[in-house]
Amino acid sequence: MSAQAQTALPSYTLNCRMNQEAAALERLCQVVRVRGFQISRMSMESADDYLDIALTLSGSRPIAMLRSQLEKLHTVVDVGLQEQAASARAVSA
Amino acid sequence: MNGAQHILEAFHRHNIHTVFGYPGGCIMPLYDALVDDVGVEHVLCRHEQACALAADGYARASGEIGVCIATSGPGATNLITGVANAYMDSIPMLVITGQVPSGLIGTDAFQETDILGMTLGIVKHSYLVDDAEALPAIMEEAINLAQSGRPGPVWIDIPKDIQLTEIEAPAAATCAQPDPLCPEISDALAMLYSAKRPLLYSGGGVSLGRAEDSFREFANTSALPDVVTLKGIGNPGKNNPHSLGMLGMHGSRAANKAVDECDLLLVIGARLDDRATGKLDGFAPNARMIHIDADAAEINKLRPADLALRGDLNRILPAFTEALKEKPLAIAHWQKQCRTWHTTSGFQAADNEEALAPITGPAFIRQLSRITPDDTVIACDVGQHQMWVAQHYEFDHPRHHLTSGGLGTMGFGLPAAIGAQFANRRGTVINVTGDGSFMMNAQELATIRRYNLPLKLIILDNQCLGMVRQQQELFYNNRESHINLDDNPDFVAMARAFDIPALHIERTDQIRRGIETILAYDGPMLLHVAISREENVWPIVKPGASNREMIDENRRTSTSKEHVA
């Protein structure tokens, strides 16, 4: 396999609060994937009627676009952008 | 009252009187409840995909929610294309499917599929009902959600046992609609007044927001030159002198030139789809952009807006209109320039004066446009005929043009026309289709016959997949691959087999009489129109290229710069 150039993508942490509903996590992950981001870390806590999810993800598209798409999900109560690292993911052969 | 009866009770509460469906094992309790319900007309289509597409057509034509029903497993999976179609075009739709009994979910039971999981990406929202007491509230929420904000399909998957369970919960109260944002428009007006070459760009969001009248008044008052997307056709009306028609891949040179030259783009209810914009880097390169939309996620999605207003068009546009009545725009030179472009570079198709000449698609559609009443609903399929309709039929209202814009679903037109005819039983509804598309839902001829729908079917038959053939010719060195349909059935005989009379024409002098014959017939009728296999849709932009790089009939690529005065 030929060597690939190092690719560094911006990394973000999103905190999502979702209603406890069928397929809530699947919906979240599907939107992240379809909109061109990759999840590198994920944690979830169940609290009362909610799911609190922290996602560390990377992607080349604007994070505001992903955030607005997640906010469209009926099950999503709130999406917060926690921090932005300079770069996170490096892909090499 | 059991779960199935609660579903029907919700229909009544929301004035849902027509639903499209197909019964089966796990939805039988609902069908049993329908036996005793005289307030809901159930339309039995012959394939679940057609149920969803008919519900879609009903919603597009009426502005009301469309409802489709199917059983679990294959019934549900057959709905998927129709639901994806509704999702892509933001059509309000309620989808109800039966599911295997709760205790069998996850056991690979007969006709069990995880339809909730399969369809997450094509619904606005979805539910798997796991508690019978929650069903009334879910019905209420789903019906409201499908129609509020940016509309879309909402799917409720209901296990058979839940449909049979007696429910104590009262019917849910009607939800309040969310209050739209009230945007500040003074900044937008300042941009509009300072622009020298402002252009109005509207899409399907105008009719989805039921803002046809507000838009029309704004367009007339502002006298802005305007272009429309495929789904925005009809927004400005057929007599607007400033309208340049459709932009994009098969848009007019005039429309694409105006976009290229404008210095302000006022985008209303459009999502800047790639078929409309072409290569984004070259789209409206000199323009600032104001984006008005009901969906916040469309703002800045593909191109950053210099100013964005999110909310109800019926609140926003009248504010613009009132301001412009007080102080009109001073853009006479730009208006004149656009009118000149429209005259010299608009959609043109000369009528063939030679009586025995073969029929061309554009000439046929132009005749159709002249002969049919203004309130005719045209439901297209997908392909060359779809673009000829978009280019050459003059629509006076966006709800008169039903087309699969986002998903591009071959087979859409016939069931969508059925839905539109149920939305307007006495109106003139015509399905304009191609020979490829027609065969994808041809079984629905039986539905037309069963309900004796007076809709008219026009097949433009070039014995091939014309749009694919055209792109293979232009962009794949004319290497034709699997587009040949010269073994089509005899469509006239096929219609007659369903007890639908049919007529065949092939010469220019037969066009008028053919159209007038099917329009005059009191019942369904099919017109089979033979056209040339080699005919193309012009102009065309190569997929992925800039709209400046339009290719015309002489295979000449030219940029709009050549035509700028």
Could you give the CA distance from residue B305 to residue B282 in angstroms, rounded to a whole number? Answer: 16
Which tens digits make up the pLDDT trace of B470-520?
Answer: 999 999 999 999 999 999 999 999 999 999 999 999 999 999 999 999 999
Q: With contact defined as beta carbons under 8 Å apart, do B29 and B163 qualify?
A: yes
Residue B177 a catalytic site member:
no
CATH architecture of B186-345: 3-Layer(aba) Sandwich (3.40)
Residue range(s) in chain B whose domain bears CATH number 3.40.50.1220: 186-345
Could you give the CA distance from residue B368 to residue B354 in angstroms, rounded to a whole number? Answer: 18
Tell me, yes or no, if B106 comes closer than 8 A to chain A by beta carbon.
Answer: no
**What is the residue-averaged pLDDT of chain B?**
94
Catalytic residue among B20, B48, B163, B525: B48
pLDDT of residue A91: 38
Which tens digits make up the pLDDT trace of B253-268?
Answer: 999 999 999 999 999 9
Is the pLDDT at B93 greater than 60? The verdict is yes
Q: With contact defined as beta carbons under 8 Å apart, do B91 and B153 qualify?
A: yes
Q: With contact defined as beta carbons under 8 Å apart, do A20 and A46 qualify?
A: yes
pLDDT of residue B527: 98
Number of Cβ atoms within 10 Å of the Cβ of A21: 16
CATH of domain B3-164: 3.40.50.970
Mutate to test the interface with B, among A18, A27, A49, A77 (most CBs of B within 10 A): A27
Among B234, B504, B242, B250, which Cα is nearest to B376's?
Answer: B234
Q: Exposed (0-12), middle (13-18) or buried (19+): which is B219, by Cβ within 10 Å?
A: buried
Is the pLDDT at A86 greater than 80? The verdict is no
Counting every residue written for chain A, the total comes to 93
Q: With contact defined as beta carbons under 8 Å apart, do B210 and B314 qualify?
A: yes
Residue B110 a catalytic site member:
yes
Closest residue, chain A, to B141 (C-alpha):
A74
Residue B494 a catalytic site member:
no
Number of Cβ atoms within 10 Å of the Cβ of B170: 10
Residue B48 a catalytic site member:
yes
Residues of chain B positioned with their CB less than 8 A from the CB of A64: 300
Quote the percentage of chain A above a pLDDT of 70.
81
Is the pLDDT at B250 greater than 70? The verdict is yes
pLDDT of residue A83: 62
Q: Among A5-19, B167-181, B211-225, name the one with the lowest average pLDDT.
A: B167-181
B552/A11: higher pLDDT: A11
Is A26 close to B120, i.e. CB distance below 8 A?
Answer: yes
Residue B422 a catalytic site member:
no
Q: With contact defined as beta carbons under 8 Å apart, do B384 and B361 qualify?
A: yes
Which tens digits make up the pLDDT trace of B12-24?
Answer: 999 999 999 999 9
Is A72 close to B125, i.e. CB distance below 8 A?
Answer: no
pLDDT of residue B264: 98
The mean per-residue pLDDT over the stretch B360-365 comes to 95
pLDDT of residue B38: 86
- Homologous superfamily of the B361-540 domain (CATH): Thiamin diphosphate (ThDP)-binding fold, Pyr/PP domains (3.40.50.970)
Whether the CA torsion B101, B102, B105, B108 is positive or negative: it is negative
The mean per-residue pLDDT over the stretch B356-363 comes to 93
The mean per-residue pLDDT over the stretch B307-311 comes to 90
Fold of A7-91: Alpha-Beta Plaits (3.30.70)
The mean per-residue pLDDT over the stretch B107-122 comes to 97
Is A27 close to B296, i.e. CB distance below 8 A?
Answer: no
Quote the percentage of chain B above a pLDDT of 70.
95
The mean per-residue pLDDT over the stretch B196-206 comes to 98
Could you give the CA distance from residue A56 to residue A84 in angstroms, rounded to a whole number? Answer: 10
Query: Quick one: pLDDT band at residue B179, thresholds 50, 70, 90?
Result: very low
Mutate to test the interface with B, among A18, A68, A79 (most CBs of B within 10 A): A68
Q: With contact defined as beta carbons under 8 Å apart, do B224 and B266 qualify?
A: yes
- A 22-81: CB under 8 A from B: 22-23, 26-27, 30, 34, 62, 64-65, 68-69, 71-75
Among B68, B1, B31, B30, which Cα is nearest to B158's?
Answer: B30
Query: Quick one: pLDDT band at residue A3, thresholds 50, 70, 90?
Result: very low
Among B421, B407, B443, which Cα is nearest to B22's?
Answer: B443
**What is the residue-averaged pLDDT of chain A?**
86
Closest residue, chain B, to A21 (C-alpha):
B127
Å between B314 CA and nearest CA of chain A = 22
Distances (CA, A) of B482 to B436, B439, B464, B472, B477: 12, 16, 9, 10, 15
Is the pLDDT at B435 greater than 70? The verdict is yes
Amino acid code (one letter) for B273: D
Query: Quick one: pLDDT band at residue B182, thresholds 50, 70, 90?
Result: very low
Is A75 close to B125, i.e. CB distance below 8 A?
Answer: yes
The mean per-residue pLDDT over the stretch B63-88 comes to 98
The mean per-residue pLDDT over the stretch A35-56 comes to 95
A73/B177: higher pLDDT: A73
pTM: 0.93
Is the pLDDT at B351 greater than 80? The verdict is no
The complex's ipTM works out to 0.86
The residues spanned by each domain of chain A are 7-91
Residue range(s) in chain B whose domain bears CATH number 3.40.50.970: 3-164, 361-540
Among B407, B419, B420, B373, which Cα is nearest to B393's?
Answer: B373
Could you give the CA distance from residue B36 to residue B228 in angstroms, rounded to a whole number? Answer: 46
Closest residue, chain A, to B297 (C-alpha):
A68
Quote the percentage of chain B above a pLDDT of 90.
89
Which tens digits make up the pLDDT trace of B202-226?
Answer: 999 999 999 999 999 999 999 999 9
Q: Among A9-13, B173-177, B183-187, name the one with the lowest average pLDDT.
A: B173-177
Is the pLDDT at B180 greater than 50? The verdict is no
The mean per-residue pLDDT over the stretch B398-426 comes to 97
Q: With contact defined as beta carbons under 8 Å apart, do A61 and B300 qualify?
A: no
Query: Quick one: pLDDT band at residue B461, thresholds 50, 70, 90?
Result: very high
Q: With contact defined as beta carbons under 8 Å apart, do B50 and B99 qualify?
A: no
Could you give the CA distance from residue B235 to residue B243 in angstroms, rounded to a whole number? Answer: 10
Q: Catalogue the long-range contacts made by B43-47 (C-beta closer than 8 Å, 24 or more residues apart).
A: B43/B18, B43/B19, B43/B418, B43/B422, B43/B447, B43/B451, B44/B447, B44/B450, B45/B20, B45/B21, B45/B415, B45/B418, B45/B444, B45/B447, B46/B22, B46/B443, B46/B444, B46/B446, B46/B447, B47/B22, B47/B78, B47/B441, B47/B443, B47/B444
Is B301 close to A68, i.e. CB distance below 8 A?
Answer: yes
Query: Quick one: pLDDT band at residue B553, thresholds 50, 70, 90?
Result: confident
